[in-house]
Structure 1
Amino acid sequence: MTDTAANNRPRAILPALERIYLPLDTLAETLLRIVAGLLLVTHGYGKILDPFGAAGMVEGLGFYPGVFWSPLLSATEFFGGIFIAIGFLTRPAAFAATIVLLVTVYFHGIVQGQGLGGAEKSILWAAITFFFAIRGANSQSVDAKIGRQF
């Protein structure tokens, strides 16, 4: 049974808890976006300091020329992470991050032969960034403050 009048969400088994869940809904989504973005920034920080440093690695994955793809990888992780965290151009930043993370799934799972165990973290991250690529940012974002989303 669903509550179709408000938001088409299933009704809580314990309705009294809705007073806790509903106000925290936006906060939880915002927190997930900020944490995901900041962790991408942290992961990309070393790469942005040496944007051509991963050229050999990306060529090893079949992305030629590495001098093009390496800085793109660096910018996607570092600046894309900042954009996701603050909720600015959230959809394109999250889409680009999702592509990078799917490549890491391939790298860990197939190239390095680690299977699911090696790729599971990248799969989880790709799912999170995919969520924001489709959903966009919420009301607690720069996108919302300027009144425009990509």
Structure 2
Amino acid sequence: MALQSTTRSRLIIPALAPVYTSGHEIVETILRVAAGALLVTHGFGKITNPFGAVGMVESLGFYPGVFWSPLLSATEFFGGILVTIGLFTRPASFAAMIVLLVTVYFHGIAQNQGLAGAEKSILWAAIFLFFALRGGNSHSVDARLDRTL
């Protein structure tokens, strides 16, 4: 363990150490805001027509589609807003991760696109897994309220 910590502390450009140590939280915030905002953008079309995906969700085995389609719409649109502002970050990110894991199945298996079709969803699911476990940082509404799940 000592070898690992010694190796980590040896930077090629030691003068950049303050940048690395001070920048991680703002970069994490940028990633959270970008992921949430893109989820909102993706969900906007669905929230304007919440029953538009009834056939698609039923084709994946989610019955009744009139229940799952609006839930999908709300998860993407409102969940994206929550992740963006950092309110209920963990549950909103967890819900988004579940939606994205379903899209991994949809593109990768149901539509037989394999990894090429599922890779973006895998990446997005991993990002939302990170925030489901990590939560919002000090630049979130959760932190301002001094509450987190």
Residues 64-117 of structure 1: per-residue CA shift (max 9 Å, x gap): 000000000000000000000000000000000000000000000000100001
Report the alpha carbon displacement of residue 2 of structure 1 after superposing the two structures with TM: 1.8
Residues 94-147 of structure 1: per-residue CA shift (max 9 Å, x gap): 000000000000000000100001000000000000000011010000000000
TM norm structure 1: 0.93
Structure 1 moving runs of 4+ over 2 Å:
none
Structure 2 Cα separation of the partners of residues 142 and 127 of structure 1: 22
Distance change >3 Å, CA 43–CA 12, structure 1 → 2 = farther
Unaligned runs of 5+ in 2: none
TM norm structure 2: 0.94
Match of 1:62 in 2: 61
Number of residue equivalences: 145
Distance change >3 Å, CA 66–CA 10, structure 1 → 2 = same
Identity %: 67
Unaligned runs of 5+ in 1: 4-8
Residues 35-72 of structure 1: per-residue CA shift (max 9 Å, x gap): 00000000000000011110110000000000000000
Structure 2 Cα separation of the partners of residues 68 and 11 of structure 1: 52
1:11 equivalent to 2:9? Answer yes
Say if 1:12 and 1:18, in contact at 8 Å, map to a contact too. no
Q: CA RMSD in A?
A: 1.3
Match of 1:116 in 2: 115
Distance change >3 Å, CA 10–CA 49, structure 1 → 2 = same
| Structure in which a larger fraction of residues adopt helix | 2
